[in-house]
Structure 1
Amino acid sequence: MQSFFVLLQLTNSSVPLGAYNYSDGLEFLVESELITSAEGIQDWLTTELKHGSIRMDIAVMLKVNQAIIANENSELNYWNSWLNGTRETSELRQQSMQMGNSLLKLLGDLDPEKRVQIQALRESIGKNCHFAVAFGVAIALWEIDTRQAVWAYLHSWASNLVSAAVKLVPLGQTQGQQIIYELHPIIDAVATELLDPKEEHFYACSWGLGLASMNHETQYTRLFRS
C-alpha cells in the first residue's frame, strides 16, 4: 500500500511542485478566443492526449523506470537530454525542469533512506531534471505499479489544465469536474497504448502547443508562467 499512497501524494494538487503556475499555452488560446467554452477545453485536452507531447513524457517516464530497475543509470542522461530537445519553447522547457528539480528534491526529503540513491541518480541525470524523468525515478524507487502511475500522471496533468481553464475561460467548478470525468476513458485508452513504449510513441503532433507557448511568451498580461 505504501507505493500507492506515495503515488496519490505525488499527484495531489497540494504537492509543492508549482504545477498551478503553468497553463501549457492555454492562457494564450483563451486570450485569442481560440478556446471559449467547456467544449473547447475538452476538445483541446482530448487532442493533446491522443496526439500531443504528453505522450512522449509518458514513454520517457517508463523508459527511465525500466533503466533504473535494470541498473542502467547511464541511460538517464540520454532520456533527459532527449526530452530537452522536444521542448519547443523556453517556457515549456523551464516548466518541465523546474517541476522536475522540485520533485527530485521532494523525493529525497520524503524518505531520507532513499536520499543517497536519489543523489546518485541525480548525478547520472545531469544538472537539470525534466519532470517526466523525476517521476520515472519515483516509480522505480517506490516500486509503483506502472499502469496506476500512468493513470495518475495523465489525470494530474489534465486536472491542472482544467483548473487553469476554470480561471481563464472562465468555467464553473462543476463544469471543470465534468470535463475531467469525460476524459477518464481517453486517459485509460492512452495509458493502455503507452504502457509498453515503442518507437512510434516517441513523436507527437505538438505544433499547436508550440505556437500557443511561443505567443504566450510575449503576451501582454499573464496569470501563468507558460
Structure 2
Amino acid sequence: MACEAALGGERLLRLLQLASPALPVGAYSYSEGLETLVAQGQLSDVASLQHWIEQELAAGAMRLEAAVMARVYEAAIAPSFPALGYWNQWLSALREAEELRLQSWQMGRSLYRLLLDLDPSVAPLLEACGETSNAAENFAVNFAVVYAIAAAHWQIDSRAAILGYLHSWASNLVNAGVKLIPLGQTAGQRLLLSLAPAIARTTDAALVLPEDDFGACSWGQAIACMAHETLYTRLFRS
C-alpha cells in the first residue's frame, strides 16, 4: 500500500512538472489569436474572454487536440510506432493557421529535447513521431503529441494528463488576457477557477470521442492568428 501511494505521489509530481508554467517550452510567448481579438475590441472583459475560451474547449481545435492526445497515449502504451507517426501528422494537418502550426512545432521540439535530457529511455517513442529523419531540432513534432508520450511513459493516468494539459493551456490564455485586456490578477484567478467545469467536460468528451466525430469549428481563431502578424504592435510572438 505504501509503495502504491508513493508511486501515485510520484506520478502526480510528474504531471505537475509537465503542466507547470515553468516548463521551458515557451508557451507564455503565444496568445493564440487573443492579441488580435483584444486589439479589435472583440474581447474586452472577463465575460468575453471566458466565453471565447469555453467555446474553444467545447467546439474548437482544443477538443480535437485532447482527443488526439488520448490516441497518442494509447499508441505509446501499446506501443504502436506507426500510430504515433500518423497522429502527429494528423495534428499538424489540423492547424489552420501557420502561426498555430509553428507554435505547436516549436513547443513540441522544446519538450522533445527536454525529455531526451531528462529520460533518454523515451527516445524510441519520440523518434517514431518525427516527420523527418533529421536531428531533433528539425522534427515537425507537435507539443500535444510529445506531452501525451511523456504522460504515458511516466505512467500518468490519461484523464489526469489531459486535464493537466487543458488547464495549462487555459492558464496561458488567461494570463495573456490579464496582460492584454488588461485584467487584475484576482480576476484572472477567478476566471481560471470558473473554467474548471468546461475543462473537465472537454476531457471526458475527448476520451470517448469516436474518430468519425473528429471535427471542429475554429475558423475565428484561425483568422485571428493569421491577422496577428500584421498588428502594428505586438506583445506576443507571431
Instruction: Report the TM-score, using the length of structure 2 for normalisation.
Output: 0.90
Aligned counterpart, 2:81:
73
Give the aligned residue type for 1:188.
A
Alignment counterpart, residue 187 of structure 1, candidates 199, 203, 216: 199
Q: What whole-Å deviation, never above 9, does each CA across 1:78-131 have from its counterpart, x for those lacking one?
A: 1111111111111101100111111121122223xxx1x332223211122101
For the pair 1:49 / 2:66, whether they are aligned, the reply is: no
- Paired-residue identity, %: 49
Aligned counterpart, 1:99:
107
For the pair 1:118 / 2:122, whether they are aligned, the reply is: yes
Aligned counterpart, 1:154:
166
Aligned counterpart, 2:95:
87
How many residues of Structure 1 are paired with residues of Structure 2 in the alignment? 222
For the pair 1:205 / 2:209, whether they are aligned, the reply is: no
Alignment counterpart, residue 142 of structure 2, candidates 130, 146, 166: 130
Aligned counterpart, 2:23:
15
Distance 1:128 1:176, change over 3 A: same
**Within-5 A mapping of 1:22-61:** 22-61=30-69
Q: Secondary structure at the match of 1:195?
A: helix
Of residues 68-77 and 36-45 in structure 1, the stretch that sits farther from structure 2 once superposed is: 68-77
**C-alpha separation in 1, matches of 2:144 and 2:190:** 27
**C-alpha separation in 1, matches of 2:93 and 2:116:** 27
Aligned counterpart, 2:227:
215
Q: What whole-Å deviation, never above 9, does each CA across 1:160-193 have from its counterpart, x for those lacking one?
A: 0000000000000011011111111111111111
Shift of 1:39: 0.8
Gaps of 5+ in 1: none
Q: Secondary structure at the match of 2:24?
A: coil
**C-alpha separation in 1, matches of 2:73 and 2:209:** 12
Deviating beyond 6 angstroms after TM superposition, the runs of 4 or more aligned structure 1 residues are: none
Of residues 160-169 and 214-223 in structure 1, the stretch that sits farther from structure 2 once superposed is: 214-223
Give the aligned residue type for 2:126.
R
**C-alpha separation in 2, matches of 1:15 and 1:187:** 21
- The answer to whether the 8 A contact 2:126-2:149 is kept is no
**C-alpha separation in 1, matches of 2:94 and 2:180:** 27
**C-alpha separation in 2, matches of 1:122 and 1:215:** 33
Q: What whole-Å deviation, never above 9, does each CA across 1:8-61 have from its counterpart, x for those lacking one?
A: 011111111100000000000000111111111001001111111011111111
**C-alpha separation in 2, matches of 1:26 and 1:172:** 17
- The answer to whether the 8 A contact 1:61-1:132 is kept is yes
Which structure is richer in relative contact order (CA contacts within 8 A, separation 6 or more)? Answer: 1
What is the root-mean-square deviation in Å for CA atoms of aligned residues? 1.2
**C-alpha separation in 1, matches of 2:55 and 2:23:** 27
**C-alpha separation in 2, matches of 1:89 and 1:14:** 26
**C-alpha separation in 2, matches of 1:134 and 1:200:** 24
Q: Secondary structure at the match of 1:125?
A: coil
Gaps of 5+ in 2: 1-8, 131-138
For the pair 1:141 / 2:149, whether they are aligned, the reply is: no
- The answer to whether the 8 A contact 2:152-2:158 is kept is no
